[in-house]
Amino acid sequence: MWHSIRKLEAEDVAAERRKQAVVEQVMVDQLSRAVISDPEQSTRADVYKEVHGLLGLGRTPMRFRKRTLHETKIRTKSGLTESMLSNKLRFDSRIISRNGRDACRELIGFFFACDRSLTVYEFRQFGKNRTNALPFIQKGVYQHQRGQRKGKVYDLSDFYIGANLTFQSADHNLPESVKQNSVLTLRVISIDEAAMDFLKASMEFKQECSKQVADDSEVFKKIQGILRESLSKRGVRVITGLGKYFRQVDKNRNGFLSQAAFKEALKVFHLEVPEGDLESLWLILDDSKRDKVDYREFTRAVFGEMNEYRKAFVRKAYMKLDFNKTGSVPMVDIRKCYCAKKHPLVLAGKATEEEIKSSFLETLGESCSNPNEVSYSEFEDYYEGLSIGIMDDDDFVNILRNPWGI
């Protein structure tokens, strides 16, 4: 126990250092001045003399000379100062993606109150000793790309745990796997509460919640309430089974399915949703009116989803297994790493370690498209289903901590 506590403390310190390194890099990037030796920094007088041949014989043109500071006119593209940039909100986010490599990317974002701009950085590890913070979303003023607030510029009220930030993928230099979808969705998983309180107090803050948003939420809650009882005892097999079913039906591999496909899926898994409620749900999700909806969004709307606290531990467990960040884990490695020694049924003497381990591997294997490996979405689906029947967050986290040693 003492060793585990020390390990957790060390991980927290390392995480905070990474975030601080990103903060420093953001400030450097936004405040950096143009290089003095850049030819564009020549003063107007120097340029005039050079153009008209007045520099004198034997003198090297300005673009080849090593100039000193007093010969250079420093120009910057913006008038931002360190004081203005310090009024910022730091938040952590993740990519909503079926690709394990993308879902586990470490993204740290910043919202600047001075001009309502935002930027997102990625903390990257290169080899064993070199790390770097690189821009993922360049600093700029962005608008919602989906939902009820589509077209509106992001403001302070858009940042809270569980919020979705949407961007046009084509507008940014993103990995090819992320660019497969026209809209990139980032989920806010934590925010700097102290900075949020300060910004709320120092600027006009309006927490808007339109009637439409409230009505949509009621539709989700009603459907989830109808299905919760039928999922209480078979949540894992339904969620994992549906995930596998959707991946098989999705011939285009783009993650989108028609309304008819979703109706058929609910019928196959004996999930009864009133026709009127299903139509209302579809009108909310199909905001682009293409008769196509991402099946991950559909699943989240119909069944609900784990909170971000739980999801963080699921990602942590998967990242420990997928240490090469390939996006999939061989089933052999799952078998080697899973430890059932502290499972409640084992401790109570009602089952052996091997029985619990075999049951887990069998259920997980049934949900996989390839029985020899487990993707991130399949791993997450298993724990998404398990989460439905566990009310307490700490109980759920212990179920992850014990077998995976995190």
209-268 pLDDT, tens digit per residue, is 556 666 777 778 888 887 877 776 777 888 888 888 888 888 877 778 888 888 888 888
- Domain borders along the chain are 36-75, 82-202, 211-303, 308-404
Give tens-digit pLDDT for 288-336: 777 888 888 888 888 888 888 899 899 888 988 887 778 788 988 898 8
**Which CATH superfamily hosts domain 308-404?**
EF-hand (1.10.238.10)
- Which pair of structure tokens corresponds to residue 380? 């997450």
Which residue, chain included where needed, has tokens 């310190």? 13
DSSP string, 105-160: --EEEEEETTTTEEEEEEEEEETTTEEEEEEEEEEE--B--SSTTTTPBP-GGG-S
pLDDT tier at 186, thresholds 50, 70, 90: very high
Predicted pLDDT of residue 228: 76
Q: Using a pLDDT cut of 90, give the percent of the chain over it.
A: 6
Confidence of residue 167 (pLDDT cuts 50, 70, 90): very high
Residue with tokens 């084992």: 346
Residue whose token pair is 């080697």: 336
Task: Note whether 211-303 and 308-404 share their fold.
Answer: yes
CA 78 to chain CA centroid, Å, is 29
CA 147 – CA 285 distance, rounded (Å): 8
User: Which CATH code fits 211-303?
Assistant: 1.10.238.10
Q: Who has greater pLDDT, 226 or 7?
A: 226
The pLDDT confidence band at residue 110, using thresholds 50, 70 and 90, is: very high
- The CA distance from 253 to 103, in Å, is 17
Q: Give the model's pLDDT for residue 34.
A: 39
**pLDDT score for 128:** 66
- The 10s digit of each residue's pLDDT in 39-78 is 555 555 555 555 555 555 555 555 555 545 445 455 545 5
Q: How many alpha carbons lie under 13 Å from residue 281 in its C-beta half-sphere?
A: 26
**Under 8 Å between Cβ of 311 and 324:** no
Identify the CATH class of 82-202. Answer: mainly beta
Average pLDDT value for residue range 116-142: 83
DSSP string covering 194-218: HHHHHHHHHS-------HHHHHHHH
Residues 373-399 pLDDT 10s: 888 888 888 888 888 878 888 888 888
Nearest-5° Cα angle at 22, 108 to 153: 45
Residue-averaged pLDDT of the chain: 79
Size of the chain, expressed as the number of residues it contains: 406
Least confident of 43-47, 335-339, 400-404: 43-47
Residue 111 token pair: 């919202």
